[in-house]
Structure 1
Amino acid sequence: MPDFDVDAVRKQFPALSEGAAHFDGPGGSQTPQAVADAVARTMVSAISNRGRLTPAERRADDIVIEARQAMADLLGADPGGVVFGRSMTQLTYDISRALAKTWGPGDEVIVTKLDHDANVRPWVQAAEAAGATVRWLAFDPATTELDDITPLLSDRTKLVAVTAASNLLGTRPDLDALAAAVRRTDALLYVDGVHLTAHAPVDMAFADFYACSPYKFFGPHCGVLAASPALLETITPDKLLPSSNAVPERFEFGTLPYELLAGTTAAIDFIAGLGGVGENRRERLLSSLMLLEIHEDTLRAELEFRLAAIDAVTLHGKAVRRTPTLLFSVAGHEPAAVSAALAARGVNAPSGSFYAIETARHLGLGDTGATRAGLAPYTNQSDVDRLVEAVEHLVN
């Protein structure tokens, strides 16, 4: 297996020239030059609504087709079931409202206390509007591992919404086991892959729906939902009368942002080029993400060890399987003050609950949360050193 060349990777991110050590990737990664170029190229090219008559129409159509295929390669999905939207939040609201049309009193929906609110509130609100019951799956605050879902499942369960990785703690639930339990019912499984997709190989075969955000994996700000075309055919969203009723277009409202889709394809090609090998893009993506996972986990383990050695620091994530994401508190310092002190030393590690409000409250951290340090492909040893030194400077 080839080595992961972090120096070569860093050279592709113009933003790093500003000199900050970026641990803010969970909120949105930095952007490689190739993605910016793809967006700019599209913006200055002749482009129109999709069609096959003029070069401008064909260019728009090709961009959409290519982006669907790129996302399918990244997620192990069917390109005919890839839906683009403004954000994961917007797409989840749209699907929750469409699905809830078939729910009623006596039906149940399961959400977790480990999730970002974008995979909680849309389902809670849709269930309440339909008169359905919401059931909560908790996690152990000590281990940050998700509880067993089996006691909550029944023949009344319509949908289970769960994260592939906690954006606050990095915890990666055992989705294979959870999906197997859900499959023993007729419930649908909706997975929030926003935080996981940037850090590990994905095969969405275990999920009915998989939602993610390209701007978390080096692309532009937009959202993606993947499902089987056959499943999407059974769902009827509210839409404009003259708009297409075809899948997946009937879930995409208004003209798609072609420049953002071009950037999404470029981001996926960038990931495939992170040292991966294979005969096709899917194989190169899986190979690259395996290399990336090793690089990030190695640095995460060192950072975790060094932060744990500082008496004033409390680390909150203890799950066996995690993304390279650490949540920590510093005794005697409010989370916002910790981030401000780090920022003053050129280290970008923000604080808060990061919309995982149920998670932060369940941990006893309240709505202010704690400080989060997320690693990325461009994180190097110097970044880790700078973060640790900045924390040591704060407490000494």
Structure 2
Amino acid sequence: MAYDVGTVRRSFPALAQGAAHFDGPGGSQVPAVVADAVRETLCSAISNRGTVTAAERRAADVVVSARQAAADLLGATPAGVVFGRSMTQLTYDLARTLAKDWGPGDEVVVTRLDHDANIRPWVQAAKAVGATVRWVDFDPATGVLAAAAVAAVLGPRTRLVAVTAASNLLGTRPDVPAITALVHEAGALAYVDGVHLTPHTPVDVAALGADFYACSPYKFLGPHLGLVAADPALLETLRPDKLAPSSDAVPERFELGTLPYELLAGTTAAIGFLAGLVPGDGDTRTRLTRSLSAMEEHEAAMARRLEDGLRQIPGTTLHGAPERHRTPTVLFSVDGVAPREVYVALGKRGVNAPAGHFYALECARLLGLGEIGAVRAGVAPYTDQSDVDRLLAGVAEIART
């Protein structure tokens, strides 16, 4: 069965308010089933996890279900799924933990294509222990981060390479499997930021070669929290700072304090919703792959319509190389109009397409956009042709002023 965006849209209460949402890269709208799952969990008897009372067992079931759902989404192992406040918080925690084994002469690699959440934690952790940071640039003309550019900075003392699976600013998708293969040949670990990739395509952590894969449910129709998937055997080798009475088991040793059960329930519901975008039989992983593949085709069609339309508007510049393998995220500027002014003007027309550098600060600087950035329009599962046409009409009107 083909992807039915009309049916999908009816599942999102927020869309009834009338705005065309292109702000998904910063946080997607949520379907009703996610809100229902959060509410039901908050309204149910629940307590800290245990096996004695019904409230304890309910909490335990919520956590187990969420780990399994995340593993199904990512092709990972449930026992290696770590939940936390955000991808940023988890990355800081893991950077500090890994840095315990680094010292002067060791090297950490970061790229200028990345969101700052996959740069600054590593830069700061390396500085704290006297390790060296190696930077990798992408090609600003195309937005491409070449595997060869990463290979050029690898050495015998490389301990970790942090790389994005997709740029949240340009949508560029580096060849992560090629990069991680080089990283592993150098004897280092690969920390992959999948926050922007995960909402747009089926993900297989093993195929990507990620030792750590970080993402954020609120970017793929879920609540606000983060998660990292890793091999449980790798996690067993790490000793994070934690409270003495807290569990030393993996993955619990990385989860500080009581987990937000309602948000975990919402995450499970979001992944279940994604699995059902296209009806069909099979286990959850099979249904997710089928549904997300169909969704990816729909989003790509909407992105092509958007890009083609923007190219036809005089004075509009698209950044990066739209024809390359990328997510349905478009970064553009309008000549003579500040990005924020475009953002505000579109907002008045009921089109939500924000402007800035979106924490991809190094990326924006290398593109020559500085601190101001540009306008970002991200296609989501609920984006339809009328949304795209509204954005194009708004940009055309703004460009004529």
Q: Same fold (TM over 0.5)?
A: yes
Match of 1:331 among 322, 330, 335: 335
- What's the counterpart of residue 363 of structure 1? 367
Letter in 1 for 2:268: T
- What's the counterpart of residue 144 of structure 1? 143
In structure 2, what is the Cα distance between the partners aligned to 1:375 and 1:127? 36
- What's the counterpart of residue 155 of structure 2? 154
Contact 1:116 1:166 (8 Å CA) reproduced: yes
- What's the counterpart of residue 90 of structure 2? 91
- What's the counterpart of residue 384 of structure 1? 388
Q: How does 1:220-259 map to 2 (within 5 A)?
A: 220-259=223-262
Match of 2:214 among 211, 215, 227: 211
- The structural deviation recorded for 1:154 is 1.0
In structure 1, what is the Cα distance between the partners aligned to 2:57 and 2:320? 48
Letter in 2 for 1:273: G
Letter in 2 for 1:123: W
Q: How does 1:1-396 map to 2 (within 5 A)?
A: 2-147=1-146, 148=148, 149-205=150-206, 206-275=209-278, 277-318=280-321, 320-396=324-400
* 1:104 match: secondary structure: coil
Letter in 2 for 1:392: A
Question: Mean Cα displacement is larger for which, 132-141 or 276-285?
Answer: 276-285
Residue by residue, what CA displacement relative to the aligned partner does 1:166-220 show, whole Å, maximum 9, x if unpaired?
0000000011111111121110000000001000010001100000000000000
- The structural deviation recorded for 1:317 is 2.3
Contact 2:240 2:253 (8 Å CA) reproduced: yes
Describe the shift of the 1:51–1:6 C-alpha distance in structure 2 as closer, same or farther (beyond 3 A).
same
- The structural deviation recorded for 1:120 is 0.2
In structure 2, what is the Cα distance between the partners aligned to 1:300 and 1:253? 40
In structure 2, what is the Cα distance between the partners aligned to 1:101 and 1:124? 14
- The structural deviation recorded for 1:278 is 4.2
In structure 1, what is the Cα distance between the partners aligned to 2:230 and 2:49? 23
* 2:375 match: secondary structure: strand
In structure 2, what is the Cα distance between the partners aligned to 1:284 and 1:155? 42
Return 5+ residue gaps in structure 1 as ranges: none
Letter in 1 for 2:24: G
Contact 2:11 2:32 (8 Å CA) reproduced: yes
In structure 2, what is the Cα distance between the partners aligned to 1:291 and 1:276? 11
Return 5+ residue gaps in structure 2 as ranges: none
Letter in 2 for 1:174: D
Q: What CA RMSD, in Å, does the superposition of the two structures yield over aligned residues? A: 0.7
- The structural deviation recorded for 1:128 is 0.6
* 1:231 match: secondary structure: helix
Residue by residue, what CA displacement relative to the aligned partner does 1:34-84 show, whole Å, maximum 9, x if unpaired?
000000000000001001111000000000000000000000000000000
In structure 2, what is the Cα distance between the partners aligned to 1:287 and 1:161? 29
Contact 1:9 1:378 (8 Å CA) reproduced: yes
- The structural deviation recorded for 1:279 is 1.4
Residue by residue, what CA displacement relative to the aligned partner does 1:88-117 show, whole Å, maximum 9, x if unpaired?
000000000000000001100000000000
Contact 2:112 2:363 (8 Å CA) reproduced: yes
Contact 1:278 1:287 (8 Å CA) reproduced: no
Residue by residue, what CA displacement relative to the aligned partner does 1:250-278 show, whole Å, maximum 9, x if unpaired?
00000000000000000000000000534
In structure 2, what is the Cα distance between the partners aligned to 1:20 and 1:274? 22
In structure 1, what is the Cα distance between the partners aligned to 2:216 and 2:143? 24
In structure 2, what is the Cα distance between the partners aligned to 1:133 and 1:4? 48
In structure 2, what is the Cα distance between the partners aligned to 1:83 and 1:341? 41
Letter in 1 for 2:306: L
In structure 2, what is the Cα distance between the partners aligned to 1:276 and 1:95? 38
Letter in 1 for 2:109: I
In structure 2, what is the Cα distance between the partners aligned to 1:160 and 1:167? 18
In structure 1, what is the Cα distance between the partners aligned to 2:279 and 2:95? 37
In structure 1, what is the Cα distance between the partners aligned to 2:399 and 2:256? 51
Residue by residue, what CA displacement relative to the aligned partner does 1:263-316 show, whole Å, maximum 9, x if unpaired?
000000000000053410001001111000000001101110110111210000
Residue by residue, what CA displacement relative to the aligned partner does 1:7-35 show, whole Å, maximum 9, x if unpaired?
00000000000000000000000010000
* 1:366 match: secondary structure: coil
* 1:267 match: secondary structure: helix
In structure 2, what is the Cα distance between the partners aligned to 1:382 and 1:39? 31
Q: TM-score, normalised by structure 2?
A: 0.98
In structure 2, what is the Cα distance between the partners aligned to 1:103 and 1:349? 42
Contact 2:314 2:399 (8 Å CA) reproduced: no
Ranges of 4+ aligned residues in structure 1 off by more than 3 Å: none
Letter in 1 for 2:187: D
* 2:371 match: secondary structure: helix
Letter in 1 for 2:75: G
Letter in 2 for 1:162: V
In structure 2, what is the Cα distance between the partners aligned to 1:339 and 1:184? 45
Identity of counterpart residues, as a percentage? 66
* 1:368 match: secondary structure: coil
Q: TM-score, normalised by structure 1?
A: 0.99
Q: Give the number of equivalent residue pairs.
A: 395
Residue by residue, what CA displacement relative to the aligned partner does 1:211-250 show, whole Å, maximum 9, x if unpaired?
0000000000000011010000000000000000000000
